[in-house]
């Protein structure tokens, strides 16, 4: 019995530290979702309209730096930007191209 209680307490504690999500209904009927790291820093912003992903999605690291951005149309990413070590990688699915930009 003691082991069951300890296990339940640990599971509840893990659940409290889980990633927090906040959803907002916007005026145009779309939904904006913000996800946060356990340290409270913003992790991702995403948008949905009529159950489909759309708009510009942003993803951040735990220090608040943007690490990727995606332009979404009709529920699919059409242009992706990935930022790492000062290099920007752009994937354009409409043009079927990959571009790397170095500072």
**pTM (2 d.p.):** 0.75
Question: According to the model, what pLDDT value does residue 21 have?
Answer: 87
Q: What is the pLDDT along the chain (103 residues), one digit of tens a residue?
A: 444 444 334 444 444 445 688 988 888 999 999 999 999 999 999 999 998 999 999 999 999 999 999 999 989 999 999 999 999 999 999 898 998 988 7
Q: Which positions ≥6 away from 56 have C-beta within 8 Å?
A: 47, 69, 70, 71, 72
Hey, what are 34's tokens? 């913000």
For the chain, give the secondary structure using H, E and C: CHHHHHHHHHHHHHHHCCCEEEEEECCCCCEEEEEECCCCCEEEEEEEECCEECEEEEEECCCCCEEEEEEEECCEEEEEEEEECCEEEEEECCCCEEEEECC
Question: According to the model, what pLDDT value does residue 27 have?
Answer: 87
């Amino acid at each position: 019995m003691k082991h069951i209680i300890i296990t339940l307490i640990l599971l509840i504690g893990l659940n409290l530290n889980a990633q927090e999500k906040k959803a907002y209904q916007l005026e145009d009927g779309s939904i904006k979702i913000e996800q946060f790291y356990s340290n409270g820093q913003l992790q991702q912003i995403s948008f949905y309209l009529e159950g489909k992903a759309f708009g510009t999605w942003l993803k951040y690291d735990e220090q608040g730096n943007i690490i990727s951005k995606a332009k979404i149309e009709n529920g699919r990413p059409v242009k992706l930007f990935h930022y790492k070590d000062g290099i920007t990688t752009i994937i354009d699915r409409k043009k079927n191209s990959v571009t790397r930009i170095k500072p």
